[in-house]
Structure formats: C-alpha cells, structure tokens
C-alpha cells in the first residue's frame, strides 16, 4: 500500500495541497481531458449525478454544465472549502463530507456517478467501486479516472511507494471484483511526456 493510501495521511496531504491544487492540476488533468471524459459519461439534463472525491470541484464544475442535480462527496474538508468558493455550500451543488468506501446514500440513488483523481487514495479500491455500483441505478454509467501505471521501472517503484497506480489489466480485475461486467478503458494525457490517466467507463449491471 502506498504512503497516501492511508486516509489520515491523505487528509493531511490535501490540507496543504488544497492551497495550490487548482494551479497544479491542469498539468495532469486539464479541461480538455475532463470534457472528453464527460462526453463518455453521457449525462443528460435532469440527471441526478454523484461526484465521488470531488475535491476542489473541478470535475463537479464540468458536471454542472450538463445537469443542475449534482452531489459532491470528499473526505478532505480543506479541498471542499475550495469547492465551496466555486459553488457555495448549498447553493449550486449538494456537498457531503464522507468516505468513498462507505457512501452515505441509498441503493440506486443516482443516474450517473463520476470520480476523477480519487481512487488512487482509497485503501480498498474494490470496496469503493462496489459502493459506486450500489448507489448507481441499474443500467446507468459510471466513470472513474485514476493514474495510469508508468512504463519506467524507476517510476514504477516511485509510484508504488506513493499511492495506487494501475494498468488496464488491474483495472479489469478491480471492476470485475466490484461487480461490473461491461466496461472500457481510455488512456488520456495532457501533453506528450506528462503523466497519463486511465479513464474507465462502466455500465452498472441490470438487476
């Protein structure tokens, strides 16, 4: 388990990163990548959508372009304070402080679920994916963005020491164990040489 796959350490990390997160994030996950992923998610007007690990609200902001019924959850109060600056605490988005592995929502609550830049911090990512499947309606679409596993042996050692990085084979295993049968992976990159993201678009099984 990587250093930041501990919830307490991750909260402390984001206490400080939150101050500069929106300035650093575009080098890894920019608007063009987000907008491409939003097209894959296929949110429609009126859909009730959950953003798991919403952070400062960058993904949430994209979701708001498609529907007014957006709900954001994060464990870091410092990240969420930046999101409040964008949307207000209750004005445009419904925010919740909570754990991705224990979502505080009823079964079949959402028409779509989005999660970008969060799974890499979950100690038990399969549990988090299973929770996402639980709260999403049967037949709905789920989209999860995480860091793609690097090719370099040196960078692999660095990645393994920090947090979860995974390739398509590992993504297959996690989504299958979480109960998904239909999914596809896309590799996204801000520019040549920058870190790559692995974006999985999955369909929640019909009951």
115-144: average pLDDT: 96
**Residue 179, token pair as written in the block:** 């109960």
The per-residue pLDDT for 163 is 74
Q: Which residue has the higher pLDDT, 12 or 111?
A: 111
Q: Give the pLDDT band (50/70/90) at residue 47.
A: very high
Q: Has residue 62 got a pLDDT over 90?
A: yes
- 25-39, 165-179, 188-202: which has the minimum mean pLDDT? 25-39
Q: Give the pLDDT band (50/70/90) at residue 3.
A: very low
**Residue 106, token pair as written in the block:** 């009823």
Domains along the sequence of the chain with CATH:
3-203 (3.40.50.150)
The per-residue pLDDT for 91 is 85
- 20-24, 64-68, 94-98, 168-172: which has the minimum mean pLDDT? 20-24
Q: Give the pLDDT band (50/70/90) at residue 114.
A: very high
SS (H, E, C) the chain: CCHHHCHHHHHHHHHHHCCCHHHHHHHCCCHHHHHHHHHHHCCCCCCEEEEECCCCCHHHHHHCCCCCEEEEEECCHHHHHHHHHHHCCCCCCEEEECECCECCCCCCCEEEEEEECCHHHCCCHHHHHHHHHHHEEEEEEEEEEEEECCCCHHHHHHHHHHCCCECHHHHHHHHHHCCCCEEEEEEEECCCCCCEEEEEEEECCCC
pTM above 0.85, yes or no: yes
- Give the pLDDT confidence of 14-24 residue by residue, as tens digits: 443 445 445 55
Report the distance separating Cα 131 and Cα 103, nearest Å: 6
Q: Give the pLDDT band (50/70/90) at residue 83.
A: very high
The per-residue pLDDT for 165 is 85
The region that residue 34 occupies, defined by phi over 0 for left and psi between -120 and 50 for alpha, beta otherwise, is alpha
126-142: average pLDDT: 98
């Amino acid at each position: 388990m990587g250093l930041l796959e501990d919830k307490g350490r991750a909260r402390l990390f984001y206490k400080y990163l939150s101050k500069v997160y929106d300035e650093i994030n575009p080098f890894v996950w920019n608007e063009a990548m987000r907008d491409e992923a939003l097209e894959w998610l296929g949110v429609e007007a009126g859909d009730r959508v959950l953003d798991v690990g919403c952070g400062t609200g960058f993904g949430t902001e994209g979701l708001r372009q498609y529907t007014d019924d957006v709900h954001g959850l994060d464990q870091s109060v410092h990240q969420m304070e930046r999101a409040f600056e964008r949307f207000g605490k209750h004005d445009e988005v419904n925010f919740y402080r909570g754990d991705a592995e224990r979502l505080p929502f009823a079964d079949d609550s959402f028409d779509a679920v989005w999660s970008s830049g969060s799974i890499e911090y979950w100690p038990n990512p399969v549990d988090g994916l299973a929770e996402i499947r639980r709260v999403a309606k049967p037949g709905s679409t789920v989209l999860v963005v995480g860091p793609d596993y690097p090719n370099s042996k040196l960078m692999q050692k660095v990645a393994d020491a920090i947090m979860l990085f995974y390739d398509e084979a590992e993504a297959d295993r996690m989504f299958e164990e979480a109960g998904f049968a239909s999914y596809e992976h896309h590799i996204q990159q801000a520019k040549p040489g920058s870190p790559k993201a692995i974006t999985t678009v999955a369909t929640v099984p019909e009951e």
